Structure 1
Amino acid sequence: MSVNNPLLPLLADNRTLILDGALATELEARGCDLTDPLWSAKVLIENPQLIYQVHLDYFTAGAQCAITASYQATPQGFLRRGLDEQQSLALIAKSVQLAQLARSDYLALHPQALPLLVAGSVGPYGAYLADGSEYRGDYHLPQQEMIAFHRPRINALAKAGVDLLACETLPSYAELLALLALLQEFPTLGAWFSFTLRDSQHLSDGTPLKDVVAVLEDNPQVLAVGINCIALENVAPALQHFAPLSNKPLLVYPNSGEHYDAVTKTWHQCGDQQGHLVNQIASWQRTGARLIGGCCRTTPADIRAIAEQCKA
């Protein structure tokens, strides 16, 4: 069976694929209290209509790919809330259905739009721990236990009909290997892999990026590689290091320009960052970035600016 690669037609003719922006911080901006281990997955229970609206607003802003609200949605996490596995898997499927509904509603009004994708978010084990370790990678599980942790969510996302997986904010080489092994159970499903970094040449757990790319490069289920949820000033050096290592399409969706304190779970402004993200798009494209969007604290307005910049 061949791998489905929905990115190919959208990246033809050297085009840039516009990803969406932040979900959790956008939900917070619209009144949600996410001071909870479930983070944005909490809203799947309490106010799913708002998740639909954020997806729709990103499509309206020019995004061509919605990333589902499943980053922190796992049966293990929902169990803490008293939900059984069947209820948990239904919520993970709902995260896909909300994005798919936003897509169909947008296309009903804009039938000439390019195809739009829904990527199923697969956050790291560190996100489930809710202790900031997705930025450190200092957690350890035997590979089979790591695979068992990720399998129910990926299975639910696949059954719900995602176009691809977004294995994102990954800090750990061992977890990457577990996800690649698990992906073999879904042979037609492709994924992008994006990482958090210690510096421009190493994963958060210290693994050299050259070792990371080496296990990704010849895998047909790996559709794109890159970085997300990192500070703006770290993007260009990381892309410059990634570019000569990989022939895969490069993706980048960094934070807005503010810095996150994983201990206090607060954001801090670092100088005048207004317009800073969009001002870097052209240089990222020159370095080889083909999929560009935003992560924490970015908004539909940021995605609209990125889309307009890429069209220009």
Structure 2
Amino acid sequence: MGAGMGAGMGAVEELIERAGGCAVIDGGFATQLEREGADIADPLWSAVCLISNPDLIRKVHLQYLEAGADILVTSSYQASIPGFLSKGLSVEEGESLLQKSVKLALEARDSFWKFVQRIPEHNYNRALVAASIGSYGAYLADGSEYSGCYGPNVSLEKLKDFHRRRLQVIIDAGPDMLAFETIPNKIEAQALVELLDEENVQIPSWICFSSVDGEHTPSGESFEDCLNILNKSERITVVGINCSPPQFTENLICKFRKLTNKLIAVYPNSGEIWDGRAKRWLPSECFGDHEFEALAKRWHECGASLIGGCCRTTPSTIQAISKALKNNRS
């Protein structure tokens, strides 16, 4: 993995500085695809649109850029080579789709940036593209990214082998950074740290955990143990929490602030609860755009440097967050 790929190790810090101290991550991708009419009731989830409707993926990326996102997360969260093979695709077709997820985001970013350059005194930043790499549990599509229970047969080496080829293929497509999302346990965090070293990855990475109780990883392990592993890696620039309820976020930022000197990212879901086995959203407290606008300011004050939304958040949520963090942005 050559040093010439991507945007270099200082790209995230530079973006945060340009953004006035806090960069905005985009919002729920599958949520917006569904609002635009996509049927993603599939083990590949939003990644099924890489096959069926790539133009819609590009459209959703543009909607988040217009809303003020400084970081686009690609549509590859649930895209894996074993997942594509299970759909009857070849290895080559699966690898091509993984690269397409990055290229669609890069194309959207570049076309949007070219467009806003023509607008006098625009308030946008040139966005970074973060290639999404979901957890092993996301590939299983059984809700285990929210339990961390992978079973006794899932070893450190098995997790590294699962992620290795996807990582190589995605990096070759040229993203600015990597986003490892909803990591539910310590063993997968360890596997990713070792894999980044073994592959000599030269673009920055973030690793974000999920949490179902606001105190621990879904597996019940302590964030202190997990962050001790990540703190030893210079390849990981950002750590954080995604797809957890907003009401947990402030406490987790404070906890992380004490445990690491790395940049902190938070992009919670809307507060609604996903039943991974029944494959449906359960009735629960839902945070709207107005709440996100108020909370984003608090999260930044507590120490978060990258803030966005996950499942059930939309471009209007990201617009509210952007407004809160960058008052001069229209």
Q: Into which bin does the TM-score normalised by the smaller protein fall? A: over 0.9
- Partner Cα distance (2:312, 2:323) in 1: 19
SS in 2 for 1:11: helix
- Partner Cα distance (1:189, 1:109) in 2: 27
Q: Displacement, 1:126?
A: 0.5
Question: Are residues 1:162 and 2:168 paired?
Answer: no
**Alignment match of 1:46 (pick from 46, 52, 61):** 52
SS in 2 for 1:273: coil
**Alignment match of 2:15 (pick from 7, 10, 19):** 10
Question: Are residues 1:284 and 2:291 paired?
Answer: no
Please tell me whether the aligned partners of residues 69 and 95 of structure 1 are also in contact (alpha carbons under 8 angstroms). Answer: yes
Please tell me whether the aligned partners of residues 199 and 238 of structure 1 are also in contact (alpha carbons under 8 angstroms). Answer: no
In structure 1, the residue matched to 2:81 is 75
CA-to-aligned-CA distance 1:129-150 (integer Å, 9 cap, x gap) = 1100000010041222211110
Report the count of equivalent residues. Answer: 312
Please tell me whether the aligned partners of residues 172 and 203 of structure 1 are also in contact (alpha carbons under 8 angstroms). Answer: yes
SS in 1 for 2:305: strand
- Partner Cα distance (1:187, 1:75) in 2: 20
CA-to-aligned-CA distance 1:239-271 (integer Å, 9 cap, x gap) = 121111111111100001322222322223434
CA-to-aligned-CA distance 1:148-172 (integer Å, 9 cap, x gap) = 1101111111000011100011002
- Partner Cα distance (1:60, 1:11) in 2: 18
SS in 2 for 1:280: helix
Q: Which runs of 5+ in 2 are unaligned?
A: none
- Partner Cα distance (1:196, 1:242) in 2: 13
SS in 2 for 1:89: helix
- Normalised to the residue count of structure 2, the TM-score between the two structures is 0.91
- Partner Cα distance (2:114, 2:92) in 1: 32
Where do residues 1-312 of structure 1 align in structure 2 (5 Å cutoff)?
4-12=9-17, 15-111=21-117, 113-140=124-151, 141-184=154-197, 185-271=199-285, 273-274=287-288, 275-312=290-327
Please tell me whether the aligned partners of residues 227 and 254 of structure 1 are also in contact (alpha carbons under 8 angstroms). Answer: yes
Please tell me whether the aligned partners of residues 169 and 194 of structure 1 are also in contact (alpha carbons under 8 angstroms). Answer: yes
- Partner Cα distance (1:257, 1:133) in 2: 18
- Partner Cα distance (2:171, 2:75) in 1: 14
Letter aligned with residue 9 of structure 1: E
- CA RMSD in angstroms comes to 1.6
* Between 5-14 and 50-59, the greater mean CA deviation after superposition: 5-14
- Partner Cα distance (1:207, 1:271) in 2: 26
- Partner Cα distance (2:270, 2:286) in 1: 11
Please tell me whether the aligned partners of residues 257 and 269 of structure 1 are also in contact (alpha carbons under 8 angstroms). Answer: no
- Partner Cα distance (2:201, 2:166) in 1: 16
Q: Displacement, 1:95?
A: 0.2
Q: Percent identity?
A: 40
- Partner Cα distance (1:110, 1:92) in 2: 28
Letter aligned with residue 7 of structure 1: V
Letter aligned with residue 132 of structure 1: G
- Partner Cα distance (2:283, 2:220) in 1: 27
Structure 1 residues 272, 77: closer, same or farther in 2, change over 3 A? Answer: closer
Q: Which runs of 5+ in 1 are unaligned?
A: none
CA-to-aligned-CA distance 1:9-68 (integer Å, 9 cap, x gap) = 112276110000011111111111111111111110000100000001101110011101
Q: Displacement, 1:6?
A: 1.3
Structure 1 residues 272, 249: closer, same or farther in 2, change over 3 A? Answer: closer
